[in-house]
Amino acid sequence: MPKTIDLTGKTCVIFGVANQRSIAYAIAQQVAAAGAQMAFSYQNERLKEHVEKAVAPLGSSLLVECDAIDEAQVENVYRRVGEKYGRVDMIVHSIAYAQHDDLGGAFSKTSLQGFRTALEVSAYTLVPVVSKAVPLMGEHGGSVVTLTFDAAGRVYPGYNIMGTAKSALENIVRQLAAEFGPKKVRVNAVSAGPLPTLAARSIPGFNEMRSAYETRSAMKRNVNHEEVANASLFLLSDLASGITGAVIPVDAGYSIMGL
């Protein structure tokens, strides 16, 4: 296939690889194949080895520990990226977390602490991840992609507080897109259909979601990692230079159906 996206000389920072099934990993494969220099953050020491092993086939890259709720650690990622590559052009934010007790069961039982945790990790972290990178983007600007889910706008029983978090995340995408648009920084979200990953395994009803997509989506099937990564690559690249603040569904047309 002819290479239509060339990211040679550009730097991409990826937050959210846990293993080779992570959506962030599928995106990283595409971005690295398009020629970009890569930097990865891993959440904590426990994940370091898995992430190191997962990203090794993608060639030489920078790895930095970062719990994204700690702004100093986010700053440290960009300091290290600045030292090694001197610039940031693309960012992938593929981070989410909710406490086990707040997934499944009655939504009204969500605790305040559970609300704070889910919203802080899954939505708020996009704010420092973008704003602290802007100085390194310089005059050329940059492009950011985050991952959301249809539950931002509709109820998926079991997904509970994560739906609230995705709603907030999509709003944050628009707020950041508006604020940093004049600096040529674009911020978009890909709304992916359900994919089997580590995070997805903790969602009660995940298998029902997969079967609903298979029977009720316009295309009568689920999407795969590569399709979500392809759309993300497009948004990260200059081919999407006129798109910002958007939520692009990669869901085989599930969200357009009424029945």
N- to C-terminal Cα distance for the chain?
37
| Cβ atoms < 10 Å from Cβ of 112 | 7
| Catalytic residue (one of 78, 159, 213, 254) | 159
**Contact between 67 and ligand NAD per CB under 6 A:** yes
In what helix (H) or strand (E) does residue 96 lie, and over which residues does it extend? none
Closer residue to ligand NAD (CB): 75 or 238: 75
CB of 149 to ligand NAD, least distance (A): 4
- Contact call for residue 121 and ligand NAD (CB under 6 A): yes
Phi and psi at residue 63, to the nearest 5°: -120, 130
DSSP 123: I
The least CB distance from residue 8 to ligand NAD, in Å, is 27
194 binds ligand NAD (CB under 6 A): yes
- Assess 197 for contact with ligand NAD (CB under 6 A): yes
Stretch that binds ligand NAD, among 60-68, 109-117, 132-140, 213-221 (CB under 6 A): 60-68
Site for ligand NAD in 27-56 (CB under 6 A): 43, 47
Q: Which is nearer to ligand NAD, 159 or 234 (CB)?
A: 159
Which listed range, 3-11, 18-26, 27-35, 238-246, lies at the site for ligand NAD (CB under 6 A)? 18-26
Cα angle vertex 110, ends 114, 123, to 5°?
50
Q: What would you measure as the largest C-alpha separation in the chain, in angstroms? A: 53
Q: Which of 12, 14, 17, 172 binds ligand NAD (CB under 6 A)?
A: 17
State residue 253 phi and psi, 5-degree precision: 80, 25
**Binding-residue total with ligand NAD (CB under 6 A):** 27
Annotated catalytic residue, options 10, 42, 85, 166? 166
Counting contacts by CB under 6 A, is residue 16 touching ligand NAD? yes
Is 132 annotated as catalytic?
no
Q: What is the three-class DSSP state of 188?
A: strand
CA–CA gap between residue 171 and residue 177 (Å, rounded): 10
Enclosing H/E stretch for 231: helix 225-236
Residue 147 found at the interface with ligand NAD (CB under 6 A): yes
Question: Cα separation of 110 and 161, whole Å?
Answer: 7
Angle between helices 161-180 and 112-119 (to 10 degrees): 40
According to CB under 6 A, which one of 23, 81, 133, 233 is a site residue for ligand NAD?
23
Residue 207's SS3 state is: helix
Q: Give the catalytic positions in this structure.
A: 159, 166
Chain positions contacting ligand NAD, by CB under 6 A: 16-18, 22-24, 43, 47, 66-69, 94-97, 121, 147-149, 192, 194-195, 197-200
